[in-house]
Amino acid sequence: MTDKTTEQTAQDENKLIAERRAKLEALRSKCKANGHPNDFRREHLAGDIKAAHGQKSQEELAAAGIRVSVAGRVMRRGGPFVGIQDSTDSIQVYMGKALQKDSEAWQLLDMGDIIAATGTLHLSGKGELYVEIADIADFRILTKSLRPLPDKFHGLADQEMKYRQRYVDLIINPETRKTFQIRSKIIESIRFFLSQRGFMEVETPMLQTIPGGASAKPFETHHNAMGIDMFLRIAPELYLKRLVVGGFDRVFEINRNFRNEGTSTRHNPEFTMIEFYQAYADYRDMMDLTEDMLRFLAESVLGTTTIQYGDSSYDFAAPFARISMVDAILKYNDGMDEAVLRDAENNIETLKEYARKVGIHLGPKEAGWGAGKLLCEIFEETAESKLDQPTFITEYPWEVSPLARRNDDNPFVTDRFEFFIGGRELANGFSELNDAEDQAERFRKQVEEKDAGDDEAMHYDADYVNALEYGLPPTAGEGIGVDRLVMLFTNSHTIKDVILFPHMKPVAE
């Protein structure tokens, strides 16, 4: 759009706003009202009216004389009919020509206004329910819309504006409303699923003196009264496991996390996760629970176990694949020696050659990477995006799993999995490390990496080690990205489409 066109559009909009402000003043003076009354109480919703009376004939409705009281936003106008939209559905309001002449409010009506109407329910010749107003006192403008809605045929075309002005997007676009209704239903169903299995919902601090539970750069802030620097939570994990130490065997939290990282189609600095922990369980139990949960969510939210995402179809009724990280690398890479990958600790130089071959940069910062980190980087570079169907990747090296329990048979790897679908990670879970001495050593390793320049490495959390010294029972835990889960269930291809108010740079003045 050229600057001249932009300027003309702004002028046109300002003219319309001025006209609507004049109508608001007329509404105040002619209708003897303040323009924003708050004494109307809606009695009926459009969706409920349609559910109760949508199957009745014209004759049945005419004979019944059903009176309803509705309210909503004006979305359509056509002669004596006005279409209004509430939170459940839309319905028409009808006022005859004779009454229109006497109704100042009707004459001052614009698209986008919020109105109230009381009248008798009828069925039009086109088969649509409508509310017929018989008295001008039964029609009122409750809120005057001073800004015109976008053209109904083109909607809110500017994608960035949809995110910045989500309120307009929700008014105009029924698909957007449906996305966030599904999101709400998913969260409600997660709560039900876990509560039915004995998990207790808890809350843990969002402001922390030591950020932990994930490898990520935190947001920093300062507490004035206490005179200390603090961090916004990057994960609730360490606090939830403190609760398991305290005797709550099954806990979960639907939590907001904050990570000081870039944005992408899959990343937002502020995001939602569900984390849950179960004593006397291992990572295999978590994989089973994940399958059960996703199957339950699909059935309860969408009414089917088949999920369509883009060109792919996923059958949640079938068992999910489970393969190790090394097996995944071998599956998607030719020319890599299986013996080298399975004995990675003794073949670091060969692993570096493999890493360079697949395009991984190994500069001074990467010089300290061990075999586990190299394996993980090769997997992420060459295999992760190819995991389209539901797949658990297991046996993550301990080097990239500072909170996971080592495998009893092969201490180079941990009892950990990540769940992938559509080529992206959706969940991360593992048998929890409950050896206080091993945890302390891994924290020290993380501190060394932080001192070497890795700003995503973990801090040393002495209190958490102290908690482990009191004894954490054998425990397994998991985190699932709620935003990515909603993307999957709503066939959305960017995370901004499933977050009501995604982070955006301020508009330049």
Query: What is the rounded CA–CA span in Å between residue 468 and residue 319?
Result: 35
Question: What's the per-residue H, E or C state across 457-503?
Answer: CCCCCHHHHHHHHHCCCCEEEEEEEHHHHHHHHHCCCCHHHCCCCCC
- Per the CB < 8 A criterion, the answer to whether 360 and 377 are in contact is yes
- Per the CB < 8 A criterion, the answer to whether 344 and 412 are in contact is yes
pLDDT of residue 166: 95
| First-last CA distance in the chain | 18
* Cα Rg of the chain (Å, integer): 29
Query: φ and ψ at 335, to 5 degrees?
Result: 90, 5
pLDDT per residue, tens digit, the chain (509 aa), is 455 566 666 777 889 999 999 999 998 887 666 778 899 999 999 999 999 999 999 999 999 999 999 999 999 998 899 999 999 999 999 999 999 998 989 999 999 999 999 999 999 999 999 999 999 999 999 999 999 998 754 556 678 889 999 999 999 999 999 999 999 999 999 999 999 999 999 999 999 999 988 888 999 999 999 999 999 999 999 999 999 999 999 999 999 999 998 888 888 999 999 999 999 999 999 999 999 999 999 999 999 999 999 999 999 999 999 999 999 999 999 999 999 999 999 999 999 999 999 999 999 888 889 999 999 999 999 999 999 999 999 999 999 999 999 999 999 999 999 999 999 999 999 999 999 999 999 899 888 888 888 878 888 999 999 999 999 999 999 999 999 999 999 999 999 999 999 988 887 75
Q: Which of 234, 222, 253 is nearest to 457 (CA)?
A: 234
- Per the CB < 8 A criterion, the answer to whether 253 and 202 are in contact is yes
pLDDT of residue 9: 65
The amino acid at 152? K
Domains of the chain plus CATH, in order, are 3-143 (2.40.50.140), 174-333+383-497 (3.30.930.10)
Binding region for Mg(2+): 418, 425
Q: Which of 402, 403, 379 is nearest to 391 (CA)?
A: 379
Binding region: 418, 425
Instruction: List Cα–Cα distances, 506 to 108, 257, 503, in angstroms.
Output: 36, 22, 9
Global pTM reads 0.91
Three-state SS at 376: helix
Three-state SS at 301: helix
pLDDT of residue 153: 46
Question: What's the per-residue H, E or C state across 81-122?
Answer: EEEEECCCCEEEEEECHHHHHHCHHHHCCCCCCEEEEEEEEE
Query: What is the rounded CA–CA span in Å between residue 480 and residue 369?
Result: 27
Instruction: List Cα–Cα distances, 215 to 199, 338, 369, 384, 432, in angstroms.
Output: 26, 29, 15, 19, 16
Q: Which of 428, 437, 431 is nearest to 405 (CA)?
A: 431
